[in-house]
Amino acid sequence: MPSEGSPFAPEVVRAVTAHMNDDHAEDTLLICRALGGVPEASAARMTGLDDVAGEYAATVDGEEVRVRIPWAHRLTERGEIRREVVRMYGEACEKLGVRPRAEH
């Protein structure tokens, strides 16, 4: 459930989730597998975010399950979202033994 008083307007959330789902679906899956407690997920998509966590829907055994992964710290500005997702991607790659892509 999104935190009350999140600094991110709905249009920011829509833009970030669309970007993640359109351009970084594999990254999202790695993040959910490594940090979201669903290592067996076969697919994942970002469904929302607020100042304390990213929200995802992961497919596990053909069923969609809700996953909420907290940020390392409370976010207050849009630019922090990208930095935090990149951090999480790096952490997920390290945890899963996957080589990160160079463009991150």
Report if residue 46 sits inside a domain: yes
Residue 6 confidence (pLDDT): 86
Residue 94 near residue 31 (C-beta atoms within 8 A)? no
% of residues, the chain, pLDDT over 70:
93
Report if residue 102 sits inside a domain: no
Report if residue 104 sits inside a domain: no
Report if residue 2 sits inside a domain: no
What CA–CA distance (Å, rounded) separates 41 from 32?
8
Q: Residue 88 sits in which domain range?
A: 10-95
Residue 23 confidence (pLDDT): 95
What CA–CA distance (Å, rounded) separates 80 from 86?
10
Residue 6 Cα to chain centre, angstroms:
16
Report if residue 103 sits inside a domain: no
Mean of pLDDT values over 75-100? 96
Mean of pLDDT values over 76-100? 96
Report if residue 101 sits inside a domain: no
Q: Read off the pLDDT band of 102 (50, 70, 90).
A: confident
Residue 2 confidence (pLDDT): 47
Beta strand ranges found along the chain (DSSP E):
43-49, 53-60, 63-70
- Cβ atoms within 10 A of the Cβ of 69, count? 19
Residue 101 confidence (pLDDT): 84
Q: What is the pLDDT of residues 17-52, one digit of tens each?
A: 999 999 999 999 999 999 999 999 999 999 999 999
Report if residue 5 sits inside a domain: no
Report if residue 56 sits inside a domain: yes
Mean of pLDDT values over 93-101? 94
Q: Is the pTM for the entire model greater than 0.75?
A: yes
The total domain count for the chain is 1
What CA–CA distance (Å, rounded) separates 92 from 69?
12
CATH of the domain at 45: 3.20.180.10
